[in-house]
Amino acid sequence: MRIQKLLPAGTILCLAFVSPVLLRAQGCTNASYYGAYIVEMQGSMLDAAGTSYQGYASLAKEVSDGNGNITGTYNYTLNGGNNSGTYTGTYTVSANCVVTETLHFSPNAAAVYAENMTFELAAGGATTVGGSTSTGIILAGQAYRAAAQGDAHCSAASVAGTYNFAVFGVVGLLSPTAQTGQVNLDGNGHLTLSGSANIQGHPSGSISGNGTYSVNTDCTGSFTVAFSTGNSATLYFGVEEGGSLLLLEPATGIVTFGVAQPQATETVMGQFVFGAGYSTFLYFNNASPGSVSFTVNFVGDNGSPMTVPSLNGSSTTVQIPAGGTAVVQAPNNGSTLNQGYATFTLPPGVNGYGVFRLQTTRVSEGTSPFGPSLAASETLVFDETGSLVDGIAIANPTGSSETVTVKATDNNGNSLGTGTVVLAAHAHTAAALDGIATGLSGVAGHSGQVTFSVTSGAVSVLGLRFNAGAFTTILAQY
C-alpha cells in the first residue's frame, strides 16, 4: 500500500488488551443533548372549542447547541390537515438526564403543538423518550440523533437499498389503518413500493407503486408515491443515526406515522491489499440457525474490479453453514503491491472482521472491523506524536465522483488544517494522513481527530497506525 514506506523492516505485532470495567450512570448536563435529532410525536389535542380531541402526528428536525438553545423545522398533521413551520426554544438537562424544553413556533402553533416538552435522555444522548406537559395536549414520542452530525450530510445515495416499513394511524379521521411492506430506493432518487394495507380491521389487499424521493443535507426528506390504484401520497421522513427512517404522512383526512428500517446494509472493508509482503484476510461468522451465501466484491484504486489471483477473479461467493465460519484470503503474491477495498452485504446473523498481515523478517498484523458503505461522514482519532504515524485509506463506494473534505483538529479542538480528496466513482486511495490531502501537514507532531465528509454520496474510511516496528488499525466513528 502507499503507506508501506512507514513500515520498517522487522515489523512485529503488538496487541493491547482492555480489561472490562463496571459502567456507572454519569450525571447529565446541557452538553449531553447536542446535535441534530429527528423527533416523532403522536397523540391527540383538544380542539379550539375545548370539546373534543383530534388526532395528531408530527415529524421534526431539532438542533440543540449543547448550551441550552434549540432550533427546529417540523411537519405535522392535525385532524387530517397538513401543516409545517419552524420553531426556536430553550432547554435544560438535569443531572438525572431529564430534558425540559420551552418552544416557540412560527407561525404560532401553540394550539396544535406543545410548547412545553419533557424528554428522558437514553443511550448516552443518542435517543430520547418523552411527551407533552401542556394542558389539553396528549402527546408521546421519541427522538433519535440524526445522521447529520458535525460535518456529516445526507443525500439520496446515503439512503439506498430495500427498507421494510410499517405505518399506523387513521384515515377519514375515524378508521384505524396499518400498512406494511417494502420500499426499494435506488440511491438516485427513484423508488418502488409494495406491501399490504388494513383499514378498520378489514384487509384491503396488496398495494404497489413507484415514485421519487429526495434527501436534504440535514437528513430530512420526502417520498412521493404514485400507486397502481391511481392514488398518490407524500410521506416525510427523517434519517436517524443507524439508518432507519421515521415516517409521517400529513395529508387531508389522514394521520399516520411509522418507521422504515434497512433490510440489509452494504458493508465495506476499506483497505484490501496483497503482494509486496502484504496479505489480507476476511473472517466471517454465521450465528444464524441456517446456512447463508453471499458475494464479496473487490474494487481497485481506479474504481474498476480488482482481480485477486488466489480467488480467480474480482469476486467470490462465501457459503457458511449454520453456526459455521469462513475466511476469504488474499495471500502475499509476488513483489507487486495491489490495493483497493472489498464490499459485501452480510445476511442476518453474520458478522466478522478483517486482518492485514505484513511478512518481513517477522510477521506484523492489524485487525479491522467492517464499516458501512452509506456513511456521509466518518471521524478518526489520530496520534502523530513521537514515533507514531497514521495512514488513511479512503473508498468512494458510490457510482459518482465524490469530493471528500478532510478537517483535522487537535486535542483542544483547534484547527490543524483542511484539505480535499477527489475520488472518481468507486475509487480508492491510501496515504499517510499528513499527505492524504494538501493542507494537512499541520497534523505532524499532534494528536486529535480528523473528519472525512461528503456533501452528497458516501465515504468509507479506515485508519492504520504505525509505531516503529508495529502497526494496528483505527476504528472510524460515523
pLDDT at 173: 60
Average pLDDT score, the chain: 85
pLDDT beyond 80 at 4: no
pLDDT at 17: 31
C-alpha cell at 448: 486529535
pLDDT beyond 60 at 10: no
Mean pLDDT value of segment 182-200: 91
As a three-state string, the secondary structure of the chain is CHHHHHCCCCCCCCCCCCCCCCCCCCCCCHHHCEEEEEEEEEEEEECCCCCCEEEEEEEEEEEEECCCEEEEEEEEEECCEEEEEEEEEEEEECCCCEEEEEEEEECCCCCCCCCEEEEEEEHHHCEEEEEECCCCEEEEEEEEEECCCCCCCCCHHHCCEEEEEEEEEEECCCEEEEEEEEEEECCCCEEEEEEEEEECCEEEEEEEEEEEEEECCCCEEEEEEEECCCCEEEEEEEEECCCCEEEEEEECCEEEEEEEEECCCEEEEEEEEEECCEEEEEEEEECCCCCEEEEEEEEECCCCECCEHHHCECEEEEEECCCCEEEEEECCCCCCCEEEEEEEECCCCEEEEEEEEEECCCEEEEEEECEECCCCEEEEEEECCCCEEEEEEEECCCCCCEEEEEEEEECCCCEEEEEEEEECCCCEEEEEHHHCCCCCHHHCCCEEEEEEECCCCCCEEEEEEEECCEEEEECCEC
pLDDT beyond 60 at 182: yes
Residue 118: is it exposed, middle or buried by C-beta count within 10 angstroms (0-12/13-18/19+)? middle
Name the fold adopted by 374-478.
Hypothetical Protein Tm1070; Chain: A (2.60.290)
Lookup result for grid cell 509476488: 334
pLDDT at 427: 96
pLDDT at 19: 34
pLDDT at 22: 35
pLDDT at 237: 93
pLDDT beyond 80 at 86: yes
pLDDT (tens digit per residue) in 60-72: 889 999 999 999 9
pLDDT at 98: 93
pLDDT (tens digit per residue) in 400-447: 898 999 999 999 999 999 999 999 999 999 999 999 999 999 999 999
CATH architecture of the domain formed by 156-262? Beta Barrel (2.40)
CA distances from 139 to 191, 242, 260, 356, 389 (A): 32, 25, 22, 52, 52
- Rounded to whole angstroms, how far apart are CA atoms 347 and 356? 24
Mean pLDDT value of segment 94-109: 83
pLDDT band at 454 (very low <50, low <70, confident <90, very high): confident
- Rounded to whole angstroms, how far apart are CA atoms 391 and 432? 4
CATH superfamily of 264-373: TM1070-like (2.60.290.11)
CA distances from 14 to 355, 368, 466, 469 (A): 13, 14, 10, 9
pLDDT band at 470 (very low <50, low <70, confident <90, very high): low
More confident residue, 74 or 15: 74
CA distances from 304 to 163, 181, 231, 422 (A): 28, 35, 43, 16
pLDDT at 469: 60
Amino acid making up residue 154: C
Domain borders along the chain are 30-145, 156-262, 264-373, 374-478
Q: What percent of the chain has pLDDT over 70?
A: 90
pLDDT (tens digit per residue) in 119-177: 999 988 888 888 887 788 888 889 998 876 655 567 787 788 899 999 988 876 667 88
Q: What is the greatest pairwise CA distance in the chain?
A: 84
- Rounded to whole angstroms, how far apart are CA atoms 191 and 213? 7
Query: Which bin fits 79, alpha (ψ -120 to 50), beta or left (φ > 0)?
Result: left
pLDDT (tens digit per residue) in 321-350: 999 999 999 999 888 999 999 999 998 899
Mean pLDDT value of segment 370-382: 82
Mean pLDDT value of segment 394-404: 90
Fold: same for 30-145 and 374-478: no
pLDDT at 110: 41
- Rounded to whole angstroms, how far apart are CA atoms 256 and 234? 11
Mean pLDDT value of segment 4-32: 46
* CATH code that applies to domain 30-145: 2.40.128
Amino acid making up residue 336: T
Least confident piece of the model among 22-36, 188-202, 317-331: 22-36
Residue 182: is it exposed, middle or buried by C-beta count within 10 angstroms (0-12/13-18/19+)? middle
pLDDT at 319: 97
pLDDT beyond 50 at 81: yes
